[in-house]
Amino acid sequence: MSFNILIADPLSEEGLQPLQDAENMNLVIETNLSPEELESKIGDFDGLLVRSQTQVTRNIIQKAKNLKIIGRAGVGVDNIDLDAATENGIIVVNAPNGNTNSAAEHTMAMIMSLSRKIPQAYYALKNHQWDRKKYVGVELKNKTLGIVGLGRIGTEVASRAKGQRMDVMAYDPFLTEEKADKMGIRYGSIEDVLKEADFITVHTPLLKETKHLINAEAFQQMKPGVQIVNCARGGIIDEEALYNAIVDKKVAGAALDVFEEEPFHDNKLLELPEVFATPHLGASTIEAQENVAIDVCQDVIGFLMGDLVRNPVNLPSVPNEIMSKIEPYFNLAEKLGSFLIHLTDEVVEEVNIYYAGDLSEVEVAPLTRNTVKGLLTRHLGDHVNDVNALYLAKRKGININENKTSRTRGFTNLLTVEVKTATETRSVAGTLLNGLGPRIVKVDKYSVDVTPEDHIVVIYHQDQPGVIGRMGSILAQHHINIATMQVDRVDIGGEAIMMLKVDRHMEQKELDELKSLEEIHEVTAIDL
């Protein structure tokens, strides 16, 4: 099997080496495609790699019939329609660590250039003007740097600014006074930061909540003469409001790497002498580009070869130590879901998943996802995967409940899945036996012991002599060999279950023949 990968933005050649070296990956490098060109080509590709320039819109995703993974060689994924990707079962991965250092260094370069008006002075010199008076700057030492967003880059900026002996103050919804103390910086609310800072630098993602976070009202709260830096995302700062604040002399200078519209040929902010800019260069170093390309290539190769990804954006990422504990249960969870959904032909309204024993002590969200994937696959086929399973369940109006319980029924771990429809509740329970793999140990109220694989036939019948014989002769007439067989009942003479493993898929007419026996109430063939 081979995969076609489209590289739609310029990526480091060295960084792409893992993909070039992988035998079954066909790389096509075509940058600067128009949206229409990308729409028309994307159907041929299994993977798409981009930076910030290519807009991966819903339209493009809807045309991407074979696309399985979008790799963003960088941090920000605001150029990718994540909802559309999730709905279509396409995983999005990014490379969140590889360019942190470069972006932090670029931010420091911007702050230092701003404080000493270096770009403006250089520009004047280029224009034959030797002017020492006009370009008097300010020192950074003892000035307050306000950082809005203290994540990976904000934190690196804070430690570098401390090296410049700046007084660093930060606001981040996850920052506490205690954490700030430990980092040797001051904690402030957003208002405190706006009010006290001499320089303000933003390092948040662009989200609904951060769009125009720095707006006209925010500028009003700032100190006169404040200087502004944006090396995060255009749109966090309202460009119109920044323009007005500079013209009104509230803001003394601004250094911008990112813009509301990119790329641009004209931006009126650049007409102001107080503003200088770079064309989104925060991550543009040889080192960062190599790092992010390698990271994203590894995830793309890993994912297409069936491994787990390290930096998923539209799937919760699970730390390695947790993943190693739950990974062995993935198959069990999916198989239980696939098995159970065959026991009902009614509309499932609710799914209850009970985690017991060892399973009650781990992060179970990925197992829930796998169970739901198994449940939905019967009707939705290959369209359902880890990425969209929960979204599709929600869209179908199915309530999913996770429960942790101490009822292990004597097993060290027990996973019970129950589906409710308007008229019935059906359930299956399974366990992972040490060294022996997964087992189905309960179906509805009956105890069984069956490996969840191959061709299983579940028969509900009256507990009376002769049923097994009659069933056996029908199978024999059709040359169907029984590999294993289990029977259980609750009351003598009441309803009983038969779980058969047979050596081939059973046809509908063969099942109908079994159903025609008077003592047999329900026959379900399940191929796992």
Ligand X SMILES: O=C(O)C(=O)COP(=O)(O)O
Ligand Y SMILES: NC(=O)C1=CN([C@@H]2O[C@H](COP(=O)(O)OP(=O)(O)OC[C@H]3O[C@@H](n4cnc5c(N)ncnc54)[C@H](O)[C@@H]3O)[C@@H](O)[C@H]2O)C=CC1
Q: Which residues are catalytic?
A: 233, 262, 280
* C-alpha closest to that of 206 among 176, 238, 240: 238
* C-alpha closest to that of 340 among 225, 490, 237, 444: 444
172 binds ligand Y (CB under 6 A): yes
Per-residue contact string for residues 361-400; x = within reach of ligand X by CB under 6 A? ----------------------------------------
CB of 218 to ligand Y, least distance (A): 11
CB of 58 to ligand X, least distance (A): 21
CB of 54 to ligand Y, least distance (A): 15
358 φ, ψ to 5°? Answer: -55, -35
Looking at 175-319, list the stretches that DSSP marks H as alpha helix, in order from N- to C-terminal side. Answer: 177-183, 190-196, 216-221, 239-247, 286-304
Q: How many CB atoms lie within 10 A of CB 376?
A: 25
CB of 336 to ligand Y, least distance (A): 36
Report d(CA 101, CA 153) in Å as an integer. 7
HSE-CB of 417 using CA atoms within 13 angstroms: 29
Per-residue contact string for residues 86-125; x = within reach of ligand Y by CB under 6 A? ----------x--xx--x----------------------
| Interacting residue with ligand Y among 49, 60, 258, 376 (CB under 6 A) | 258
Compare residues 162 and 179 and give the one whose CB is closer to ligand Y. Answer: 179
Site for ligand Y in 173-212 (CB under 6 A): 173-174, 203-206, 209-210
235 binds ligand X (CB under 6 A): no
Compare residues 278 and 421 and give the one whose CB is closer to ligand Y. Answer: 278
* Cα–chain center distance at 433: 31
| Interacting residue with ligand X among 75, 158, 242, 343 (CB under 6 A) | 75
67 φ, ψ to 5°? Answer: -70, 130
314 binds ligand X (CB under 6 A): no
Q: Provide the b/e sequence for 325-350 (b: ≥16 CB within 10 Å).
A: ebeebbbbbbbbbbbbbbbbeeebee
* Cα–chain center distance at 49: 16
| Interacting residue with ligand X among 284, 352, 451, 486 (CB under 6 A) | 284
- 């493993």: which residue's tokens? 501
Region of 73-81, 337-345, 347-355, 386-394 interacting with ligand Y (CB under 6 A): 73-81
* C-alpha closest to that of 5 among 22, 23, 29, 21: 29
C-alpha distances in Å from residue 163, one per residue of 37, 158, 184: 48, 9, 11
Which H or E element spans position 87? Answer: helix 82-87
Site for ligand Y in 266-285 (CB under 6 A): 280, 282-283
Compare residues 78 and 495 and give the one whose CB is closer to ligand Y. Answer: 78
Compare residues 146 and 337 and give the one whose CB is closer to ligand Y. Answer: 146
Contacted entry of ligand X, ligand Y, none for residue 334, CB cut-off 5 to 8 Å set by kind? none
Contacted entry of ligand Y, ligand X, none for residue 210, CB cut-off 5 to 8 Å set by kind? ligand Y
Edge-first strand order for the sheet with 25-29 is: 25-29, 3-7, 47-50, 69-72, 91-94
Contacted entry of ligand X, ligand Y, none for residue 51, CB cut-off 5 to 8 Å set by kind? ligand X
CB of 231 to ligand X, least distance (A): 9
Q: Which residues bind ligand X (CB under 6 A)?
A: 51-53, 73-76, 99, 280, 282-284
Q: Which residues bind ligand Y (CB under 6 A)?
A: 74-76, 96, 99-100, 103, 148-154, 171-174, 203-206, 209-210, 213, 231-233, 257-258, 280, 282-283
